[in-house]
Homo-oligomer: A and B are copies of this chain.
């Protein structure tokens, strides 16, 4: 349903009205493309190299190319990239679903490491990319960039896109890796957006310790209040549904309330100038721990799949969009123009033909992109290995440590840059949707190249790299286990069952749990608290009032629900 927001772009970005005939054509093409992506993505599922995201990117590029040809190079995009579309419509369902479907046990077991990677790591990466850009960009004749621009570049390219990797990683085969990469991805998204906003509001003039302290304080404030708001909204939804006991017959009401409250948490967070991403992520976690258990069986199936579907559509939409946007000829021309600081309007004003003043070889953006990609790789290496070392040091003897091979995978998994980077780059380097000044055009173009290259090339190499570093287990089911189809029940099991409850460890972890008493006792304390205070009020597994014949009492719900794979989509 991400496509419902489509009209918004059509209106805000392109200045079109939906009643406009052109806009209806665009919506039709877009929906048809979305359908094709899903069908092609499905047909190529056997193929180890591609997935829906790559398909959508390629389809976007192809469509952009066709439109370029049809309109004689006048326009490649059906829609103009709109930051609002991204932050108001596409991002919330993706992040909420991430929180809703996360394996909470793993997530909270590795909470400290995830925060270390996601927050501290992103900051390290940010510093390195900023410094590197300041040092290296000078040599290219890019144009005048200020300190604020360099800081923004650091934040923009610190935002990872782990979706591609997660489509390859298997939550069962490599639970530790999966939760680390996944958790880091979400915290990283939030961190870079918070960072970016903090930079935008920063007074660059006098940069001293006080400003830095202020910055850190604001960062922590945003982090905790955002989380709190998400938890509060989630609990409120659980309380409302439990208290009103929405009868056993109003699935629509339950689902509506869950959807609306989830979205409300995000919008409230934006209203209070907090980080909507963190809020909606924690709202998703709380909703899956409490609210989800208070609703009827049908509501559970429905919400689970609806949220996954919305997230799925939003992602494809996004990649399609990025692919289409990559061929925006006007930006490319401007980026390779010989004139600095000239805007397209200048050309128009002087009645000059922009083509005669530009060369079509996009050398500069490509050089810039190469530098940025190098910085991204260095910046990521600079925190993954040291922080993994730190994390391993702090761990009790027999808890699983992060092996060197796993460190390489974590490093690799965070190299992809995605929609968050693009959205932030547009926010920084455009004015009202059009990239008019050359240096801005170059930065946007470079961002698109980095995103395309990292998603397609790094993304394609992930599967081979993985099977090289983690040799598939022997046995008849090996290939099936590595493929995405095998992620059948674990997500559901985690939702139906053992969330937060480390008191019931799976057999093979038994020994470890006895030895890792501290972590375990925190979990045990939490569980006691949860059982004594939280669940009686907010509901949750086992705390839903008994209704004779209610679907909750029915057996084998795992089986009915467990026929789906969300991991590959979320």
- The smallest C-beta distance from A471 to any residue of chain B, in angstroms, reads 25
Residue ID in chain B nearest A19 by CB atoms: B84
| A298: Cβ under 8 A from any B Cβ | yes
| A517: Cβ under 8 A from any B Cβ | no
- The smallest C-beta distance from A139 to any residue of chain B, in angstroms, reads 36
Contact A31 B263 (CB under 8 A): yes
CA distance A66 to B17 in the complex (A): 31
Contact residue among B38, B308, B485, B551 (Cβ-Cβ distance under 8 Å from A257): B38
CA distance A564 to B246 in the complex (A): 11
Residues on B with C-beta less than 8 A from A247 are: 42, 45, 485
Residues on B with C-beta less than 8 A from A302 are: 301-302, 304-306, 309
Contact residue among B35, B249, B297 (Cβ-Cβ distance under 8 Å from A264): B35
Residues on B with C-beta less than 8 A from A89 are: 4, 7
Stoichiometry (number of copies): 2
Known contacts A8-B11, A42-B253, A305-B252; is-contact A560 B563 (Cβ 8 Å): no
Contact A298 B309 (CB under 8 A): no
Contact residue among B11, B41, B270 (Cβ-Cβ distance under 8 Å from A12): B11
| A565: Cβ under 8 A from any B Cβ | yes
> Which residues of A, 247-270, contact B by the 8 Å Cβ criterion?
247-253, 255-257, 259-261, 263-264, 267-268, 270
| A220: Cβ under 8 A from any B Cβ | no
CA distance A270 to B4 in the complex (A): 16
Contact residue among B7, B17, B31, B263 (Cβ-Cβ distance under 8 Å from A3): B263
| A144: Cβ under 8 A from any B Cβ | no
- The smallest C-beta distance from A249 to any residue of chain B, in angstroms, reads 5
A-side interface size class:
35 or more
Contact A38 B551 (CB under 8 A): no
| A51: Cβ under 8 A from any B Cβ | no
CA distance A193 to B45 in the complex (A): 44
| A271: Cβ under 8 A from any B Cβ | yes
Residues on B with C-beta less than 8 A from A564 are: 249-252, 296, 298
- Most chain B beta carbons < 10 A, residue from A247, A306, A309, A565: A309
| A441: Cβ under 8 A from any B Cβ | no
Stretch at the interface among A21-29, A53-61, A170-178: A21-29
Known contacts A18-B12, A298-B301; is-contact A32 B264 (Cβ 8 Å): yes
Contact A259 B560 (CB under 8 A): no
A contacts with B: majority SS: helix
Known contacts A1-B259, A297-B563; is-contact A252 B34 (Cβ 8 Å): no
CA distance A246 to B569 in the complex (A): 14
Contact B38 A84 (CB under 8 A): no
| A209: Cβ under 8 A from any B Cβ | no
Residue ID in chain B nearest A312 by CB atoms: B252
| A216: Cβ under 8 A from any B Cβ | no
Convert A311-343 into 0s and 1s, putting 1 for each residue whose CB lies closer than 8 angstroms to a CB of B.
011000000000000000000000000000000
Contact A88 B249 (CB under 8 A): no
Contact A18 B84 (CB under 8 A): yes
CA distance A135 to B264 in the complex (A): 50
- The smallest C-beta distance from A10 to any residue of chain B, in angstroms, reads 8
| A561: Cβ under 8 A from any B Cβ | yes
CA distance A271 to B20 in the complex (A): 10
- The smallest C-beta distance from A534 to any residue of chain B, in angstroms, reads 22
| A244: Cβ under 8 A from any B Cβ | yes
Contact B563 A298 (CB under 8 A): yes
| A198: Cβ under 8 A from any B Cβ | no
Contact B8 A260 (CB under 8 A): no
| A488: Cβ under 8 A from any B Cβ | yes
Residues on B with C-beta less than 8 A from A312 are: 252-253, 256
| A240: Cβ under 8 A from any B Cβ | yes
- The smallest C-beta distance from A126 to any residue of chain B, in angstroms, reads 24
CA distance A41 to B31 in the complex (A): 35
- The smallest C-beta distance from A83 to any residue of chain B, in angstroms, reads 7
CA distance A32 to B240 in the complex (A): 13
Residue ID in chain B nearest A261 by CB atoms: B35
CA distance A570 to B147 in the complex (A): 57
CA distance A192 to B261 in the complex (A): 36
- Most chain B beta carbons < 10 A, residue from A4, A247, A299, A313: A4
| A566: Cβ under 8 A from any B Cβ | yes
| A5: Cβ under 8 A from any B Cβ | yes
Residues on B with C-beta less than 8 A from A251 are: 305, 308-309, 563-564
- Most chain B beta carbons < 10 A, residue from A42, A251, A271, A308: A251
- The smallest C-beta distance from A254 to any residue of chain B, in angstroms, reads 9
Contact B1 A305 (CB under 8 A): no
CA distance A421 to B565 in the complex (A): 44
| A382: Cβ under 8 A from any B Cβ | no
Contact A309 B244 (CB under 8 A): no
Shortest 8 CB-CB contacts between residues of A and residues of B: A302-B305, A4-B4, A1-B1, A18-B84, A7-B8, A251-B564, A255-B309, A301-B301
What are 30 sample pairs from A and B whose C-beta atoms fall under 8 A apart? A1-B1, A1-B259, A2-B4, A4-B4, A4-B89, A5-B5, A5-B7, A7-B84, A8-B18, A21-B271, A27-B267, A31-B263, A38-B260, A39-B257, A41-B253, A42-B250, A248-B563, A249-B488, A249-B563, A249-B565, A251-B563, A252-B569, A255-B309, A260-B313, A296-B563, A298-B563, A301-B301, A302-B305, A302-B309, A560-B560
Extra contacts, 5 of them, besides A31-B263, A35-B260 (Cβ < 8 A), are A8-B8, A11-B12, A35-B264, A252-B305, A298-B305
